[in-house]
Amino acid sequence: MPNANSDITQFLEMQAAERGAAANTIEAYRRDLEHFAAHLDRLDKPLRQALPADVAGYARVIAVDGLAPASRARRLSAVRQLYKFLVGEGHVAEDPAARQSGPKLSRALPRTLSVAEVDRLIETARKRIDGTVGRERVRALRLHCLIELLYATGMRVTELVSLPRSVLKGDSRVLTIIGKGRRERLVPLNATARVALDRYLSVGEDAEDGVSPMLRTKWLFATTSAEGYLTRQRMAQELKELAAEAGLDPERVSPHVLRHAFASHLLDRGADLRTVQQLLGHADISTTEIYTHVLEERLKKLVLEHHPLAKG
């Protein structure tokens, strides 16, 4: 009978090849599944012969060990996925993890900004451009463009900073994004985002800036970093500096918070959850459901404003 390491390796190869799992995700699966296999080994129980009681026992062990609920849920999810794979491959007749649920998790609401706060951030970035020259002007135009694009599209920060210049080909009203798992999606650009992008790109035509070669590389936001483009850490740092300048708490502002603002503001103005899922590039709508509180608040407001019994 193949050993546990062989089964785990096959499962990880499937995750990488068929589902496009990232290297960090694969490594996390490996650690969690090796921990489970070591537990079974102490019981002298082969991975393929585990019973529901063995999986339940493992759940109790990691709970007693004081592992955080989120970490326990992640480990048990990895175990469930492994056994689904083994059943699908015909290596195991019955899934011993099928009925094993993880700990209930309280889902924190995403941090976000109000429309007025986002407007203030964007306006501060726009004003920074005035009076700048040379590389300072390039940086100011770049930051304004990044914020406009981020808020207009809801892209992940890594997707944004690593955009190739090839995304500019075709329809200027949309961008084609390659997201997690190499999944492709289209995101629309509003008028202000297109203007900010055009202003940033136009700086490459100004020989006095001395930066034309930089703007002609394969990356839209090219820098001299090892990656060849602006790092997400550098963008986050510039965004926090801008937040302080705009009179906002820098601790409340990050690229991911602007992504949350994009989704929350869309839902608040009538967009449906499925559309937001597609725009954000979520593979599973359950991920998008963290924003259901926005829908609930909107429904409450509609009832209070329009239901006859709510008057008076």
Q: Which of 72, 126, 137, 282 is catalytic?
A: 282
Q: Which of 72, 259, 260, 265 is catalytic?
A: 259
Candidates 262, 291, 273, 272; CA nearest to 149 is 262
* Residue 26 CA: distances (Å) to CA of 69, 99, 135, 161, 180: 21, 24, 40, 24, 14
- What residue has token string 């992504």? 259
92 CB burial (10 A radius; 0-12, 13-18, 19+): buried
Candidates 117, 108, 127; CA nearest to 261 is 117
Q: Is 216 a catalytic residue?
A: no
Q: Which of 180, 240, 293, 298 is catalytic?
A: 180
- What residue has token string 């989704």? 263
Q: Is 29 a catalytic residue?
A: no
Reading the block at residue 45, the tokens are: 């129980």
Q: Which of 91, 234, 240, 256 is catalytic?
A: 256
How does DSSP assign 9-49, residue by residue?
HHHHHHHHHHH---HHHHHHHHHHHHHHHHHHHHTT--GGG
Q: Is 282 a catalytic residue?
A: yes
DSSP conformational letter for 283: S
211 CB burial (10 A radius; 0-12, 13-18, 19+): middle
Judge contact between 290 and 107, C-beta under 8 A. Answer: yes
Residues linked to residue 164 through DSSP beta bridges, in sequence order: 219
Q: Which of 156, 185, 232, 265 is catalytic?
A: 156
Q: Is 35 a catalytic residue?
A: no
Q: Is 265 a catalytic residue?
A: no
Hey, which residues are catalytic here? 156, 180, 256, 259, 282, 291
